[in-house]
């Protein structure tokens, strides 16, 4: 894994959602553990955008929070820029070193209405990470930096004295980006950064993020439930289902030649402009209750290719092999009993459009 900026190894996060002790005793019930993230392995290369997709409750936001340190993993190791931040060996990491490493990562949140303090002026919001992480910065330098940041995200220097409520949703998300970039991070964790925005504003923010990545050499972990957005922005895509990564592959390959049945199902379900009037087979079933996931491969109750082994044994994330890059966690793929995906229709339509 040389060249990896961030490595997650077997990262697991469980939440104890048991009823109170007295209820458990009286009702003779055991503890209830929610496995929000269950053994995630992935590595981010410097300068790339890794997209993480999945439906609600699949654990993608928990992964983001584990990486930036808002949660501590139950098990597993997180290594950023050669420094072990959590898991085995984290105790041995020098505190100052860990803090310096953490300074390299910042987070952008989904809701630009909830993530900016309404009582602070924009300049103070953007300056806050610098004040927290580099308290010795001179006031003049701080102000210069804030102005530079605002201009970089397409706002005016004069906007610094305004309050968040004076801005629209898209402008607020620009303020969030300016705040995240103010300490010169090299890695941004973006948790659904455009989901609360209208499409024309979403396009502005996505274009801005791409421009900034090019100018500043940023690495993004881009989390979204919107496959089209991820297709547009990501270099590689990881698909999560019930706390596990089921497929991780380069974007173009994933969208053209998806391996995992869940990925194929998701891709077939995306409504697309090219699908005018076309009918398709909707996939049945829903995400099972994560408190009581099915045994074996958690996707088997919805999977058309499931067999006895899938119901028993949890598949590991293995290289796809052949000419394909990436990894997939599926017994059917590993055994070679999965038919190739019918993509002809969609590609043909795109060609004639």
- Chain residues binding other proteins by CB under 8 A are 55-56, 168-171, 198-204, 206-207, 210, 225-229, 231-233, 252, 255, 265-280, 282-284, 286-287, 346-347, 349-350, 353
Query: CA quadruple 60, 66, 70, 74: dihedral positive or negative?
Result: positive
Q: Closer to other proteins at the Cβ: 145 or 231?
A: 231
Least Å from the CB of residue 75 to other proteins: 28
Shortest Å distance, C-beta 312 to other proteins: 25
Q: Apex CA 265: angle with CA 261 and CA 271, to 5°?
A: 160
Nearer to other proteins, 109 or 167 (CB): 167
Q: Closer to other proteins by CB, 139 or 279: give it.
A: 279
Shortest reach from residue 272's CB to other proteins, in Å: 5
Nearest CB to other proteins, comparing residues 286 and 292: 286
Nearer to other proteins, 43 or 343 (CB): 343
How many CB atoms neighbour CB 295 within 10 A? Answer: 11
In whole angstroms, give the CA distance from residue 4 to residue 177. Answer: 24
Provide the minimum distance between the beta carbon of 230 and other proteins in the complex, in angstroms, as a whole number: 9
The Cα–Cα gap between 348 and 345 comes to 5
**Beta carbon of residue 299, minimum distance to other proteins (angstroms, whole number):** 11
């Amino acid at each position: 894994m040389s060249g990896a900026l961030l490595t997650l190894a077997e990262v697991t996060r469980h939440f104890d959602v048991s009823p109170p002790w007295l209820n458990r005793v009286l009702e003779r019930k055991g503890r209830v553990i929610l496995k929000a993230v269950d053994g995630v392995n992935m590595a981010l290369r410097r300068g790339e955008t890794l997209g993480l997709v999945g439906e609600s409750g699949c654990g993608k936001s928990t992964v983001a929070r584990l990486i930036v340190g808002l949660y501590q993993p139950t098990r597993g190791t997180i290594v950023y820029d050669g420094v072990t931040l959590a898991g085995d060996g984290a105790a041995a990491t020098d505190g100052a070193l860990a803090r310096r490493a953490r300074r390299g990562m910042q987070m952008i949140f989904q809701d630009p209405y909830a993530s900016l303090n309404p009582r602070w002026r924009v300049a103070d919001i953007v300056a806050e990470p610098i004040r927290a992480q580099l308290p010795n910065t001179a006031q003049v330098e701080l102000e210069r930096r804030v102005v530079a940041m605002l201009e970089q995200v397409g706002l005016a220097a004069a906007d610094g004295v305004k309050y968040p409520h004076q801005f629209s949703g898209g402008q607020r998300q620009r303020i969030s980006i300016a705040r995240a970039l103010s300490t010169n991070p090299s890695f941004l964790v973006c948790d659904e950064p455009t989901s609360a925005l209208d499409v024309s504003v979403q396009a502005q923010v996505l274009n801005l993020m791409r421009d900034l990545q090019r100018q500043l050499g940023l690495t993004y972990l881009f989390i979204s439930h919107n496959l089209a957005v991820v297709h547009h922005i990501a270099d590689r895509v990881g698909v999560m289902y019930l706390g596990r990564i089921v497929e991780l592959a380069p974007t173009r390959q994933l969208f053209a030649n998806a391996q995992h049945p869940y990925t194929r199902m998701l891709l077939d379900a995306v409504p697309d402009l090219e699908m005018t009037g076309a009918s398709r087979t909707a996939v049945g079933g829903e995400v099972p209750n994560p408190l009581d996931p099915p045994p074996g491969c958690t996707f088997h109750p919805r999977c058309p290719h499931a067999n006895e082994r899938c119901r028993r044994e949890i598949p590991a994330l293995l290289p796809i092999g052949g000419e394909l890059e990436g990894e997939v966690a599926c017994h059917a793929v590993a055994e070679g009993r999965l038919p190739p995906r019918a993509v002809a229709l969609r590609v043909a339509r795109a060609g004639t459009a």
